[in-house]
C-alpha cells in the first residue's frame, strides 16, 4: 500500500535544472512537501509549488530500485494529493529521470516542450474529494449525484462507468471521468435505463486496447480472479446488480474500489468477497490476466 506522509520542507526545485517556462515558480518555497512510502519504506518524495493562482508544479524524486508499476502508482499518489489539497486548474511537472517519460502520460500529463502539463477536468471539482482514494481511484458513488450518466445521475446508475474508469487507470490507460461516462452512455439508446451492459463494457474496454477477458459463474470467476492482475466484478445484491473494480495484492488478497461506498483501502480475500457481497446467482467478471 502506498501512503504519503509530511516531511520537512526541502529545496528540491533549486537542486534541479528548471526549464525556463517554469521560472514563475522559482524563489518560492513549496506549499506542501511529502514523502512517498510503500510498506513503510520511503520510495520517493514530492514537493508542490504554487504560482499563487491556479497552477501547481509537482517535483518528484524516486529511488532507483522500484519497478515501473510502483513508480507509476507513486506518482499517481503525488498528483492526486496535489489536486486534493490545492485544487489547481493546471498541473505541471518535469524530471531529469528518464523513467518518468512513460509515467507522466499514464497520469494524463502531456508533453509541452521540456515540461509536462495536465489540465484538471471540470468534473473533478463537481464532486467531493471523499469520492476518491489517495491514488485517485473512485470509491464513493453515493456522493456523485451531480455527474450525469445517460438520463440518470452517476449515484443511481454509474457503477459501470466508475469501474471502467478505475480499471483503465489501474492499467496505465487513464482517461477523464467525463470521457468515460459519456463514451459509455453514447453507446446505449435507452439512456442507461437498465444500467451498464456487461458485454458493451467488455467491448468498450477492448477498443481501448485493454486485453480484458470474461468469466461467468462463481467457480469460473473465482479461478479467473486468482490468476488476474485486476478486473471488474458484476454481481447481484439486494439493491440490484452492481459493478466494482479490484486489484490483486502481492499476498493474493484484493483491494476493492466502490464495493462499499467511501471505504478506503478495502482489503479482503477473494473468497470473503464472493461470500459476503456477491451472494446472488449472478456473478460475472472482466479481468486482465497476470503476466
Structural domain tally of the chain?
Answer: 2
Question: Which residues, including other chains, have CB under 8 Å from residue 101's CB and lie 6 or more apart?
Answer: none
Same domain? 85 vs 153: no
Residue 96 pLDDT: 84
Same domain? 78 vs 205: no
Same domain? 111 vs 218: no
Same domain? 196 vs 103: no
Single out the residue in 120, 153, 178 at which a domain terminates.
120
Same domain? 42 vs 172: no
Q: Which residue in the block uniquely carries the three cell numbers 450525469?
A: 148
CB 233, CB 266: distance < 8 Å: no
Single out the residue in 120, 137, 164 at which a domain terminates.
120
Same domain? 35 vs 94: yes
Single out the residue in 120, 146, 170 at which a domain terminates.
120
Same domain? 205 vs 75: no
Question: Which residues, including other chains, have CB under 8 Å from residue 272's CB and lie 6 or more apart?
Answer: none
3-state secondary structure of 223: helix
% of residues, the chain, pLDDT over 70? 88
DSSP state of 257: E
Cα 85 from chain centroid (whole Å): 17
Same domain? 164 vs 59: no
Same domain? 89 vs 142: no
C-alpha cell at 116: 509536462
Which domain range does residue 13 map to? 2-120
Residue 66 belongs to domain with CATH number:
3.40.630.30
What does the chain come to in residues? 291
Q: Is 217 left (phi over 0), alpha (psi -120 to 50) or beta?
A: left
Helical ranges in 46-132 per DSSP H: 68-86, 100-106
Same domain? 158 vs 253: yes
Pairing, β 55-62 against β 152-153: unpaired
Residue 236 belongs to domain with CATH number:
3.90.70.10
Q: Is the pTM of this model over 0.85?
A: yes
Q: Which long-range contacts (CB under 8 A, 24 or more apart) does 117-123 make?
A: 117/90, 117/91, 117/92, 118/79, 118/90, 118/91, 118/93, 119/89, 119/90, 119/91, 120/83, 120/88, 120/89, 120/90, 120/91, 121/176, 121/177, 121/178, 122/178, 123/147, 123/176, 123/177, 123/178
Q: Which residue in the block uniquely carries the three cell numbers 455527474?
A: 147
Same domain? 228 vs 280: yes
Residue 53 pLDDT: 85
Same domain? 239 vs 266: yes
pLDDT tens digits, the chain, 291 residues: what are they?
445 544 444 444 444 555 655 656 666 788 899 988 887 889 999 999 998 889 999 999 999 999 998 899 899 999 999 999 999 999 999 888 899 999 999 999 999 888 899 999 999 999 999 999 988 999 999 999 999 988 888 998 899 999 999 999 999 999 999 999 999 988 665 544 456 889 999 999 999 999 999 999 999 999 999 999 999 999 987 778 899 999 999 899 999 999 999 999 899 999 999 999 998 888 999 999 998
Amino acid at each position: 500500500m502506498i501512503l504519503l506522509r509530511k516531511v520537512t520542507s526541502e529545496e528540491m526545485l533549486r537542486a534541479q535544472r528548471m526549464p525556463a517556462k517554469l521560472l514563475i515558480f522559482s524563489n518560492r518555497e513549496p506549499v506542501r512537501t511529502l514523502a512517498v512510502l510503500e510498506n513503510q519504506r520511503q520510495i520517493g518524495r514530492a514537493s508542490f509549488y504554487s504560482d499563487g493562482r491556479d497552477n501547481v508544479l509537482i517535483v518528484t524524486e524516486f529511488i532507483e530500485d522500484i519497478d515501473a508499476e510502483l513508480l507509476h502508482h507513486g506518482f499517481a499518489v503525488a498528483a492526486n494529493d496535489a489536486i486534493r489539497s490545492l485544487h489547481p486548474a493546471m498541473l505541471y511537472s518535469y524530471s531529469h529521470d528518464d523513467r518518468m517519460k512513460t509515467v507522466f502520460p499514464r497520469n494524463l500529463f502531456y508533453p509541452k516542450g521540456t515540461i509536462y502539463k495536465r489540465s484538471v477536468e471540470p468534473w473533478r471539482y463537481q464532486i467531493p474529494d471523499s469520492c476518491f482514494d489517495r491514488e485517485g481511484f473512485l470509491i464513493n458513488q453515493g456522493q456523485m449525484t451531480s455527474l450525469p450518466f445517460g438520463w440518470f445521475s452517476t449515484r443511481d446508475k454509474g457503477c459501470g462507468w466508475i469501474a471502467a474508469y478505475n480499471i483503465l487507470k489501474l492499467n496505465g490507460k487513464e482517461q477523464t471521468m467525463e470521457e468515460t461516462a459519456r463514451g459509455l452512455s453514447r453507446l446505449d439508446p435507452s439512456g442507461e435505463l437498465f444500467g451498464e451492459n456487461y458485454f458493451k463494457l467488455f467491448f468498450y474496454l477492448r477498443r481501448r486496447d485493454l486485453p480484458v477477458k470474461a468469466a461467468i459463474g462463481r467457480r469460473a470467476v473465482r479461478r479467473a480472479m486468482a490468476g488476474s492482475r485486476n478486473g471488474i466484478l458484476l454481481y447481484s445484491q439486494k439493491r440490484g446488480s452492481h459493478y466494482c473494480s479490484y486489484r490483486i495484492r502481492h499476498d493474493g488478497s484484493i483491494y476493492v474500489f466502490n464495493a462499499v461506498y467511501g471505504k478506503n483501502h478495502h482489503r479482503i480475500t477473494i473468497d470473503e468477497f464472493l461470500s459476503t457481497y456477491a451472494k446472488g446467482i449472478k456473478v460475472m467478471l472482466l479481468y486482465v490476466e497476470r503476466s
